[in-house]
């Protein structure tokens, strides 16, 4: 920028001084013409002889330095340019005056100008020689560059701030032009990629991000460069980066456009996501392990409960045989002992059967099909017909929808819920049970309710009852394994839904669960 | 010969099972169901085949009217025994009922593929087992018409 300005200045200044140079060597007519040119020059012009005395100046010079012309003619030029100019006019031991001068020609020299009132201002000086009868004179074109200096200062400040921002960024930042060449980068980028800054500036960005970035900068037949870029803005793109030592690491790239004088530049914020990636991989591995151990546990529960059934069958069968053949033939105590043994064996059988049912939910029912829930309910009621007849329960239901699920599990779900409703009754009332379903259209599912007029449940136990082996009643009140609702919960959750209860003691309960609509 | 419950002529049943408890229980329950049944026991597959082929100490073994076969047996398991019986011209006509604790679909399918005459899972409850045994007796040993044993 500075350089460009200076060149422009030179182009503009040179004709004035060149003209002056040629004209002063000829006649007075020419002298007048030269004076006119001198006055017309946009810059302050001062002609100085070899001893450093001012021999001529224009109106601009008067204005800039605040002197009248006669106050300056014949005075040393150091009065208005204290340092850096006069010295350059004087030959030293090493070089002649002409040589000394020749070195300065055309180059803009930045110096300090001094006004009559003692104030200083920055100037740029352009020198050119002027042959005259009295020897070589120097024409100096003097430009007040205080505005430019101030602008430069602001710019430098801004640049400093931008650079500061760039350097302060926690991510590696690389600015790339449309050709895919790196024009700017920060210290994080140096560190991450293992290069020195100068090794990357001007290099192709593919050196550090071989694939997926440079391609995105290029417009194709379908889109302009702006469009191509716009598509990528703000999106984290996961790519592979390459260090100087050729090692690779995963990165996330965020792009943003930067309009510059040379077209659109792209600022890429590059984050090393090695840690995140390995955390992700670690998490995935953990999930896999967890799934495997869950599966193993399910298998274990299944095998254990299945194998437990064998010895239990022996115990149960023989205690039953004992009871059948010898009850009443031994003493009363022996009969009692046999009863306890039989009762224990029966309970354990139910427990193992429920455990098996519970573990089967995990090992079976992978596939979901369209199920008529009404048919499933009717199937469940058929399985419960003994209990329904015995209790005189009245089970009603609305029209029930088609849902996605496993039919066997859905039957079991209804069977457990309706079975509980029949079982947990307090008074002399006939058990009244109603099953209904309402559509929850927003999330494409059905919410089922199983409502009863039974004992009800204290809200203290709303959560607890769905846990494994959780019971609220003494065995001599209501027998059970405490697995039934755990099975319900597992079935519903396996179908992606949830189950809950609403109840008031003495006023019945409503169990709700949701299933995906078909 | 049609197998019927004719007093004086014992009905021979071969039970192949390695569990002493199960064997005794099955014997007890069958005795209650039909006292004419003479229950023979083989505790593994090799012994079962020796009995059927009247080999070694089983030289005098009767030809059974019904085989009750468990699947999980030592030495030679029930599936192999089943394959051998049904692959043997002189044995394949003997009704062979798989009586086991497994209710795995794979076991059921495999058994019928090997020409089992039926597949029964031992119930856990004694009453249910008693009822099953009565059914076996009623169907296989009473009602079912079977071809006469071809003269050897």
Choosing among A305, A307, A309, A313, which should be mutated to test the B contact, i.e. which has the most B CBs within 10 A? A313
* Residues of chain B neighbouring A318 (CB-CB closer than 8 A): 21, 25
Q: Is the pLDDT of residue B113 over 90?
A: yes
Q: Is the pLDDT of residue A444 over 50?
A: yes
Looking at residue A479, its pLDDT comes to: 77
Q: Shortest CB distance from A309 goes to which of B25, B124, B127? A: B124
Closest-CA residue of A relative to B20 is A314
Say whether B124 and A320 touch across the interface (CB within 8 A): no
**Which ipTM score applies to this complex?**
0.79
Q: Shortest CB distance from B124 goes to which of A318, A321, A349? A: A349
Looking at residue A220, its pLDDT comes to: 47
* Residues of chain A neighbouring B122 (CB-CB closer than 8 A): 313
Scanning the structure block, which residue is given the tokens 């085949």? Answer: B49
Measured in degrees and rounded to the nearest 5, phi and psi for residue A221 equal -60, -25
Scanning the structure block, which residue is given the tokens 């449309």? Answer: A178
Say whether A314 and B22 touch across the interface (CB within 8 A): yes
Closest-CA residue of A relative to B104 is A306
**CA–CA dist A93, A96 (Å, integer):** 8
**CA–CA dist B89, B61 (Å, integer):** 18
The answer to whether residue B127 neighbours chain A at the CB level (below 8 Å) is: yes
Q: Is the pLDDT of residue A180 over 80?
A: yes
Closest-CA residue of A relative to B123 is A313
Which residues make Cβ contacts (< 8 Å) with residue A478, sequence separation at least 6?
A423, A424
Looking at residue B16, its pLDDT comes to: 96
Choosing among A299, A311, A317, A346, which should be mutated to test the B contact, i.e. which has the most B CBs within 10 A? A317
**CA–CA dist A185, A200 (Å, integer):** 8
pLDDT band of A296, cuts 50, 70, 90: confident
Looking at residue B31, its pLDDT comes to: 93
Looking at residue A233, its pLDDT comes to: 55
Looking at residue A262, its pLDDT comes to: 63
Q: Is the pLDDT of residue A104 over 70?
A: no
Residue A405: C-alpha distances to residues A13, A380, A435, A446, B61 (Å): 90, 15, 18, 12, 55
- A vs B: CB pairs below 8 A: 28
Looking at residue A22, its pLDDT comes to: 43
Q: Is the pLDDT of residue A7 over 70?
A: no
Chain A interface, Cβ < 8 Å to B? 309-310, 312-314, 316-318, 320-321, 324, 349, 353
Measured in degrees and rounded to the nearest 5, phi and psi for residue B70 equal -80, 155
Among A213-227, A341-355, A389-403, the range of highest mean pLDDT? A389-403
Measured over the CA atoms of residue B122, residue B123, residue B124 and residue B126, the dihedral's sign is: negative
A231-287 pLDDT tens trace: 555 567 888 999 999 999 999 888 877 766 666 778 888 989 999 899 999 999 999
B2-59 pLDDT tens trace: 444 444 568 899 999 988 989 999 999 999 999 899 999 999 999 999 999 999 899 9
Q: Is the pLDDT of residue A18 over 50?
A: no
Looking at residue A510, its pLDDT comes to: 95
Q: Shortest CB distance from A314 goes to which of B21, B125, B127? A: B21
| Shortest distance, CA B125 to any CA of chain A (angstroms) | 7
Number of H helices, E strands in chain A: 17, 17
The alpha-helical segments, DSSP class H, found in A144-244 are 146-168, 187-193, 197-200, 214-217, 225-232
Strand order in the sheet with A109-114: A54-57, A44-48, A135-144, A120-132, A109-114
**CA–CA dist A324, A322 (Å, integer):** 5
Say whether B124 and A316 touch across the interface (CB within 8 A): yes
Say whether A312 and B101 touch across the interface (CB within 8 A): no
Q: What is the mean pLDDT of residues A376-381?
A: 94
Mean pLDDT, chain A, integer: 82
The answer to whether residue B25 neighbours chain A at the CB level (below 8 Å) is: yes
Scanning the structure block, which residue is given the tokens 């006119």? Answer: A36
The residues with which A433 forms a beta bridge, in sequence order, are: A395, A452
Closest-CA residue of A relative to B102 is A306
Closest-CA residue of B relative to A322 is B126
Say whether A321 and B28 touch across the interface (CB within 8 A): yes
Q: Is the pLDDT of residue A502 over 90?
A: yes
A107-165 pLDDT tens trace: 678 889 999 999 999 998 888 777 777 777 888 888 888 887 877 777 777 777 777 77
Looking at residue A23, its pLDDT comes to: 43
B70-111 pLDDT tens trace: 998 888 889 999 999 999 999 999 999 999 988 888 899 999
DSSP 8-state secondary structure symbol assigned to residue A53? B
Higher per-residue confidence, A470 vs B13: B13
pLDDT band of A364, cuts 50, 70, 90: low
Looking at residue A345, its pLDDT comes to: 87
Lowest model confidence (mean pLDDT) among A225-229, A245-249, A348-352: A225-229
Looking at residue B152, its pLDDT comes to: 45
Say whether A320 and B101 touch across the interface (CB within 8 A): no
Of the candidates A268, A281, A278, the one whose C-alpha atom is nearest the C-alpha of residue A209 is A268
Choosing among B32, B103, B104, B126, which should be mutated to test the A contact, i.e. which has the most A CBs within 10 A? B126
Higher per-residue confidence, A434 vs A198: A434
Cβ atoms of A76 and A52 closer than 8 Å: yes
Q: Is the pLDDT of residue A10 over 80?
A: no
Burial class (CB in 10 A: 0-12, 13-18, 19+), A508: buried
Q: Is the pLDDT of residue A402 over 60?
A: yes
**CA–CA dist A297, A306 (Å, integer):** 14
Looking at residue A3, its pLDDT comes to: 40
Lowest model confidence (mean pLDDT) among A176-185, A259-268, A349-358: A259-268
Looking at residue A309, its pLDDT comes to: 81
Scanning the structure block, which residue is given the tokens 């009586």? Answer: B99
Lowest model confidence (mean pLDDT) among A226-240, A346-360, A426-440, B106-120: A226-240
The answer to whether residue B80 neighbours chain A at the CB level (below 8 Å) is: no
Overall pTM surpassing 0.90 (yes/no): no
The answer to whether residue B125 neighbours chain A at the CB level (below 8 Å) is: yes
A33-86 pLDDT tens trace: 777 878 888 889 998 888 888 988 999 899 999 999 899 999 998 899 988 877
Looking at residue B2, its pLDDT comes to: 42
Looking at residue B30, its pLDDT comes to: 95
Say whether B125 and A349 touch across the interface (CB within 8 A): yes
In the structure encoding, which two tokens stand for residue B103, read together? 């209710």
Say whether A320 and B28 touch across the interface (CB within 8 A): no
């Amino acid at each position: 920028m500075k350089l460009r300005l200076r060149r422009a200045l030179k182009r503009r200044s040179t004709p004035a001084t060149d003209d002056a140079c040629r004209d002063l060597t000829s006649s007075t007519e020419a002298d007048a013409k030269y004076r006119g040119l001198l006055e017309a020059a946009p810059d302050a012009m001062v002609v100085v002889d070899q001893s450093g005395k001012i021999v001529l100046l224009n109106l601009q010079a008067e204005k800039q330095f605040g002197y009248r012309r006669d106050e300056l003619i014949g005075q040393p030029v150091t009065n208005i340019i204290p340092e850096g100019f006069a010295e350059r006019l004087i030959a030293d031991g090493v070089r002649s005056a002409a040589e000394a001068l020749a070195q300065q020609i055309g180059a803009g020299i930045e110096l300090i100008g001094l006004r009559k009132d003692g104030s200083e201002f920055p100037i740029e000086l352009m020198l050119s020689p002027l042959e005259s009868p009295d020897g070589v004179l120097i024409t100096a074109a003097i430009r007040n560059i205080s505005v430019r200096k101030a602008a430069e200062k602001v710019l430098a400040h801004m640049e400093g701030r931008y650079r500061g921002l760039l350097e302060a960024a926690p991510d590696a930042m690389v600015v790339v032009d449309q050709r895919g060449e790196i024009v700017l980068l920060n210290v994080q980028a140096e560190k991450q990629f293992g290069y020195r800054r100068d090794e990357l500036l001007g290099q192709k960005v593919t050196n550090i991000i071989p694939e997926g970035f440079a391609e995105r900068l290029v417009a194709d037949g379908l889109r302009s460069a702006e469009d191509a870029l716009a598509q990528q803005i703000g999106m984290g793109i996961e790519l592979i980066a390459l260090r100087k030592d050729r090692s690779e690491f995963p990165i996330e790239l965020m792009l943003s456009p930067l309009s510059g004088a040379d077209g659109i530049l792209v600022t890429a914020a590059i984050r090393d996501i090695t840690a995140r990636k390995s955390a992700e991989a670690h998490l995935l591995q953990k999930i896999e392990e967890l799934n495997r151990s869950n599966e193993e546990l399910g298998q274990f529960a299944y095998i254990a409960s299945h194998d437990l059934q064998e010895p239990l069958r022996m115990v149960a069968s023989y205690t039953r045989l004992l009871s059948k053949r010898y009850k009443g033939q031994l003493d009363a105590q022996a009969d009692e002992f046999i009863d306890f043994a039989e009762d224990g064996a029966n309970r354990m059988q139910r427990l193992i059967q429920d455990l098996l049912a519970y573990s089967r939910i995990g090992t079976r029912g992978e596939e979901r099909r369209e199920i008529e829930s009404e048919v499933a309910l009717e199937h469940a009621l058929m399985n419960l017909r003994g209990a329904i007849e015995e209790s005189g329960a009245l089970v009603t239901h609305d029209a029930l929808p088609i849902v996605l699920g496993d039919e066997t599990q859905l039957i079991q779900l209804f069977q457990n819920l309706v079975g509980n409703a029949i079982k947990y009754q307090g008074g002399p009332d006939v058990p009244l049970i109603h099953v209904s379903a309402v559509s929850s259209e927003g999330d494409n599912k059905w919410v089922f309710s199983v409502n009863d007029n039974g004992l009800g449940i204290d809200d203290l136990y709303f959560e607890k009852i769905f846990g494994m082996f959780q019971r609220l009643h003494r065995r001599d009140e209501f027998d059970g394994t405490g697995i039934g609702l755990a099975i319900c919960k597992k079935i519903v959750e396996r179908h992606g839904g949830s189950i809950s209860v609403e109840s008031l003691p003495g006023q019945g309960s409503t169990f709700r669960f949701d299933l995906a609509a078909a | 010969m049609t197998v019927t419950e004719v007093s004086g002529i014992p009905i021979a049943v071969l039970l192949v099972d390695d569990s002493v408890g199960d064997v005794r229980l099955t014997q007890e329950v069958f005795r209650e169901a039909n006292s004419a049944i003479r229950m023979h026991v083989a505790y593994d597959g090799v012994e079962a085949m020796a009995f059927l082929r009247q080999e070694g100490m089983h030289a005098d073994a009767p030809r059974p009217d019904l085989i009750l076969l468990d699947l999980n047996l030592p030495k030679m398991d029930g599936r192999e025994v089943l394959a051998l019986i049904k692959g043997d011209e002189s044995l394949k006509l003997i009704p062979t009922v798989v009586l086991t604790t497994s209710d795995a679909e794979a076991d059921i399918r495999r058994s019928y593929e090997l020409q089992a005459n039926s597949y029964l899972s031992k119930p856990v409850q004694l009453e249910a087992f008693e009822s099953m045994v009565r059914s076996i007796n009623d169907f296989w040993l009473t009602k079912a018409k079977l071809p006469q044993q071809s003269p050897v």
